[in-house]
Structure 1
Amino acid sequence: MSPARVLTLHEAALADRAGLIARHPAVFRRVTAARLGTSLTAAAALGLLAFGLWRLEFSPGRIAGGLAQLLHFLGMMLPPDPGSASRAFLILRGLAETLAIALLGTLLAAAVALPLGFLAARNTSAGRLVHFLSRRALDSIRGVDALIWALIWVSVVGLGPFAGVLAIMTSDIGTFGKLFSEAIEATDRRAVEGVTSAGGGRLARIRFGVLPAVLPVMAGQVLYMFESNTRSSTIIGIVGAGGIGLMLSEMIRTLEWGVVSFIVLLVLVAVAVIDTISGRLRAGLAG
């Protein structure tokens, strides 16, 4: 539409403003139920934010002082220095253990969550009761953080990387189960209908109608979670679940900031490399 035409319509609307208000009073009403509800919601959100800042003792002065202290710590962390060759070897060994924990935990979680995803998906579940119970079970598992699972498994099986693998696996079962079930529910029904028209049963519909469509999506999700679990494995190591986290915690407690920055730098490099590789693999799986 040309600018001249738009200007003509605008002038006509202004000239007939009284008639428009008479014909469409609801549109020109300044206060409507929707606007009032939006305004009340925004006011409630702002009030909750203000209350939270007050209740948690938010202070710009403390932030400014904290930033100065942070800059002081960053100065002590430069340059990154492992201290000795033997300590650098121990750090690299701890990093390798962290990556192993993340990889094994992710793969085991994906293997356990795959059948649970089919049970939790509405279009492949064995019934409404099974669907409901599967969903609630996955919600319950996902509601507990990996760090809490690490504390539980350390108490059950003792200190070490085995507890870390179990913590990552347990935490990811809930996440993978939800992601897998949503991917299964979003599959195209035409493939399933084609298998059904050829005389295929429930298992055949899942094997030939659903799995080929969702496996690339699931593989991409597993790759992403492996990248995320590399960071999580560092944290759970602080509570004794193996990996480089325990060494990082000890270096922070003993104020060896050069070693701390060296460990953090290694973790960042490892996460960046894994992110690059998994991103390319996800792009290849997506076609």
Structure 2
Amino acid sequence: MTDTRATSGITEAQVQAAMEAHPTAFRDPLPLRLRKFALWAFFIGLFCWCLYDFDMSPQRIWTGMDRFGRVLSFMFPPHVWDTWAEWSDILKGLGETLSMAFLGTLLGAIVAFPLSFLGAKTINRVFWFRMSVRRGYDVIRAFETLILALIFIRAFGLGPLAGILAIAVSEIGTLAKLFSEALENTSQKPVDGVKASGGSRLQTIRYAILPQVLPVYISVILYNFESNVRSGTILGIVGAGGIGFLLSDRIAAYKWDEAWMIIFLIIAMVYVIDWLSAKIRTRLIGEWTGAR
């Protein structure tokens, strides 16, 4: 490799003289180095303290891995049910989880769509009103879906209804925030074009803004639907219906082989949904872009 100092005509003595004359140009000043050292020492100390406080000792890790290995041995080979009655319960649970995710995402998107316009600065020019709406998004998103499910189970009883409402409420805060950010990132040129042709404010939104954000909306909704399928499994464990309830029941009864088969089916369902949503995204967004 060619030495750049030799090709540029700079000698080693000149480099040393420059380093002595301007030491801060070649290394961080002492206060900055001390701050960096203190920051690294803090993070390393915090990491070590967490390991100690949570009792993550090598002996405990080794013991846990041994028990985990025994659990895995109970899971293999996965159980295959012999009768249609047993299969129908499992398929019904998968259908309930899928329905919970679909209805929850759909209801959340329906409510979030108009709310997103109130939280976008390109649409809502009233600062205090817009910020109040956006803080409302934050309040909704502060509640984890699992907590919402426990609240709705207490209010509406066990079953998929509580899971649907939990997912829907959680999606309102998430989708409204993402939708409003998409509205704020739209290009101003189509808006100026519609205004220049005499279009009203509603026509500007319809013909200049919505065509830009609808592909983003579709992509976000489909992705959240995939995520909510997984969330629906967890909600079933606390009593919100679906395949999670059957999985929890098998684990509580130490039927690890059946539990592992249910996990396989959940993985397969999530994979199929991911594949289908990718196809739908590509087709719809491609057609929408082509139509424009």
The two structures have a TM-score, normalised by structure 2, of: 0.90
Q: Secondary structure at the match of 2:10?
A: helix
Deviation of the 1:43 alpha carbon: 2.0
Q: Which amino acid aligns with 1:242?
A: G
**Partner of residue 60, structure 1:** 58
**Partner of residue 154, structure 2:** 155
| Structure 1 residues 119-150: Cα deviation after superposition (integer angstroms, max 9, x where no partner) | 11221124111211111111111111111010
CA RMSD in angstroms comes to 2.0
Take 2:124 and 2:221, find their aligned partners in 1: how far apart are those partners? 22
**Partner of residue 14, structure 1:** 12
Tell me, yes or no, if structure 1 residue 50 matches structure 2 residue 48.
Answer: yes
**Partner of residue 289, structure 2:** none
Deviation of the 1:5 alpha carbon: 7.1
**Partner of residue 211, structure 2:** 212
The answer on whether the counterparts of 2:118 and 2:124 sit within 8 Å (CA) in structure 1 is: yes
Q: Which amino acid aligns with 1:181?
A: S
Q: Secondary structure at the match of 1:156?
A: helix
**Partner of residue 142, structure 2:** 143
Aligned residue runs from structure 1 range 207-246, under 5 A: 207-246=206-245
Change (3 A) 1:27 1:275: same
Aligned residue runs from structure 1 range 100-139, under 5 A: 100-139=99-138
Deviation of the 1:71 alpha carbon: 1.4
The answer on whether the counterparts of 1:220 and 1:285 sit within 8 Å (CA) in structure 2 is: no
| Structure 1 residues 212-246: Cα deviation after superposition (integer angstroms, max 9, x where no partner) | 00110110111111111111001101111111111
Deviation of the 1:11 alpha carbon: 6.4
| Structure 1 residues 40-93: Cα deviation after superposition (integer angstroms, max 9, x where no partner) | 322222221122112111122212211111111111111221544212210111
Query: Which 5+ residue runs of structure 1 have no aligned equivalent?
Result: none
**Partner of residue 69, structure 1:** 67
Take 1:182 and 1:34, find their aligned partners in 2: how far apart are those partners? 36
**Partner of residue 38, structure 2:** 40
Runs (4 or more) in structure 1 with deviation over 6 Å come to none
**Partner of residue 279, structure 2:** 280
| Structure 1 residues 141-174: Cα deviation after superposition (integer angstroms, max 9, x where no partner) | 1111111010111111111111111011011111
Take 1:136 and 1:249, find their aligned partners in 2: how far apart are those partners? 36
Q: Secondary structure at the match of 2:229?
A: helix
The answer on whether the counterparts of 1:119 and 1:126 sit within 8 Å (CA) in structure 2 is: no
Tell me, yes or no, if structure 1 residue 256 matches structure 2 residue 267.
Answer: no
Deviation of the 1:39 alpha carbon: 3.0
Q: Secondary structure at the match of 1:12?
A: coil
Q: Which amino acid aligns with 2:166?
A: A
Take 2:259 and 2:90, find their aligned partners in 1: how far apart are those partners? 10
Q: Which amino acid aligns with 2:211?
A: P
Change (3 A) 1:130 1:11: same
Change (3 A) 1:230 1:13: farther
Take 1:270 and 1:143, find their aligned partners in 2: how far apart are those partners? 29
Tell me, yes or no, if structure 1 residue 31 matches structure 2 residue 5.
Answer: no
Deviates more, 1:111-120 or 1:198-207: 198-207
Deviates more, 1:120-129 or 1:149-158: 120-129
Change (3 A) 1:167 1:96: same
The answer on whether the counterparts of 1:238 and 1:246 sit within 8 Å (CA) in structure 2 is: yes
**Partner of residue 290, structure 2:** none
Query: Which 5+ residue runs of structure 2 have no aligned equivalent?
Result: 287-292
Q: Secondary structure at the match of 1:267?
A: helix
Take 1:205 and 1:240, find their aligned partners in 2: how far apart are those partners? 46
**Partner of residue 172, structure 1:** 171
Q: Which amino acid aligns with 1:278?
A: S
Take 2:210 and 2:40, find their aligned partners in 1: how far apart are those partners? 44
Aligned residue runs from structure 1 range 181-220, under 5 A: 181-220=180-219
Take 2:141 and 2:11, find their aligned partners in 1: how far apart are those partners? 56
Instruction: Report the count of equivalent residues.
Output: 285
The answer on whether the counterparts of 1:251 and 1:257 sit within 8 Å (CA) in structure 2 is: yes
Take 1:183 and 1:47, find their aligned partners in 2: how far apart are those partners? 40
The two structures have a TM-score, normalised by structure 1, of: 0.92
Change (3 A) 1:195 1:37: farther
